[in-house]
Amino acid sequence: MIAQIVLVLSLTAAVVVGFVVYTLKNLLLVSNPSEVLILSGGTHQVEGRTVGYRSIRGGRAVRIPLLERVDRMDLTNIPVEIAVRGAYSKGGIPLNVQGIAHVKLPGEEPRLANAVERFWAVRVKRSLRLRAKRLKETCAVCWLSSRPNR
């Protein structure tokens, strides 16, 4: 009788320990130094304002189940190729310009909060296309504004 009770208690303890380990493994999140964890859901204070996310850079956090969703944002340099064709220099010479811009997302507040709000949950390819488009438009406007009047 006592052996059966001990067996049942030990099996129950093993199941509880296994459940706790599995839960902590899935809820404890660790970020690399070059990435930010974005836990969306709930309200948090960032730089004196209330936002619907919290960001953890180069650390760890425990996700609240059913309330928070996890996204990761890479903070490494991202090269973006830029090409402008048919732009005119100040002297009226047509130019074809090619270059590479390196985009670096900031890792410290308050600029990190701005980057999270702008690029939050955006896939890397879509983000690269968006950045390249903005850079191309900016370069084209700069070159076109320096174009001589005809």
pLDDT of 18 reads 93
Per-residue pLDDT tens over the stretch 4-35: 888 889 999 999 999 989 888 888 888 888 88
Closest CA to 103 of 125, 83, 75: 75
pTM surpassing 0.85?
A: no
What mean pLDDT value characterizes the chain? 79
Report helix, strand or coil for 147: coil
Domain boundaries, the chain: 31-145
Per-residue pLDDT tens over the stretch 46-99: 777 787 788 888 888 888 888 888 888 888 888 888 888 888 878 888 888 888
Annotation: CATH topology of 31-145 = Tetrahydropterin Synthase; Chain A (3.30.479)
